[in-house]
Amino acid sequence: MSRTMVRVETIPALRRTLGEWRLRDERIALVPTMGNLHAGHLQLVRRAREIGDRVVVSIFVNPTQFGEGEDFGAYPRTLEEDAQALKGAGADLLFSPSVAEVYRRPQEQLSLIHLPGISEMLCGASRPGHFDGVATVVCKLFNMVQPGLAVFGEKDFQQLLVIRRMTEDLDLPVEIVGVPTVREKDGLAMSSRNAYLRPEERKIAPNLHRILREVADKVRAGEGNLVGLKSIARAELTELGFRPDYLEIRRAADLAPPKPEDRRLVVLAAAHLGRARLIDNLPFRR
């Protein structure tokens, strides 16, 4: 059911509304997004609605997490359509600040948060500095909103672990809640960047999830040659027309290379298909 939703663009206006809710001891749930919302985002909002008293959704295309040559300028911006979808999903407040509101210094002068190790592997190796930008903007949003909890999708598995680590290391009083990946009927993980796929590429794209499932199934069945398994999977992606950045099997808790005794694992991949860079993952137990 559609509900009244406050829309603010500045930090002072945001804090005035939040202050009224805090006086009533209402627990605030934050859903940070970059907009161009799809059903996966709206599932995060619905989960926040279930576990929080008030739901704040931020829409901010964050320049500090885009590298040189990436799609910051071309990233889809659909604010009015997003606002209507958020009202229907039960958001109480939409915070859509400008870049100048969030970053009051030139980008080269900004204080950044860097998490050694976990932010430098996988997507962090392919996109140097990306997770510094993610951790910094999420920390800033936590300070602006001061939520009791924040909801993130598990599709961005490495991002979720980076945010958990950052929250723990900086003693931020925010509960981090992960929500399982929302998929299209053919298995493709929902993503704003799926819009970059041409029709023929869209038909190929679900193979990324299929190959991850097959890798996980083989590990569960007892396959111990993880190096060979990963090599075969990357070769199949290439044969299908993907340009893989990586396909890895890691320990789910911290993305370290798994030891034989580790049971909770995750297979993760990032691969280019045409203009789109697709990421996906599949947690599993062996």
Active site residues: 41
184: number of Cβ within 10 Å: 17
Q: What is d(CA 29, CA 118) in angstroms, rounded to the nearest whole number?
A: 26
* Paired residues of 268 in beta bridges: 248, 281
Give the distance, in angstroms, between the CA of residue 129 and the centroid of all CA atoms in the same chain.
16
Structure letter (DSSP) for residue 62: -
Q: What is d(CA 264, CA 284) in angstroms, rounded to the nearest whole number?
A: 6
Q: What is d(CA 4, CA 178) in angstroms, rounded to the nearest whole number?
A: 26
Block residue for tokens 């040559």: 69
- HSE (side-chain half, CA atoms, 13 Å) at 186: 8
Q: What is d(CA 266, CA 252) in angstroms, rounded to the nearest whole number?
A: 5
- What are the distances in angstroms from CA 16 to CA 98, 149, 209? 18, 19, 44
Block residue for tokens 């161009």: 36
Q: What is d(CA 15, CA 86) in angstroms, rounded to the nearest whole number?
A: 20
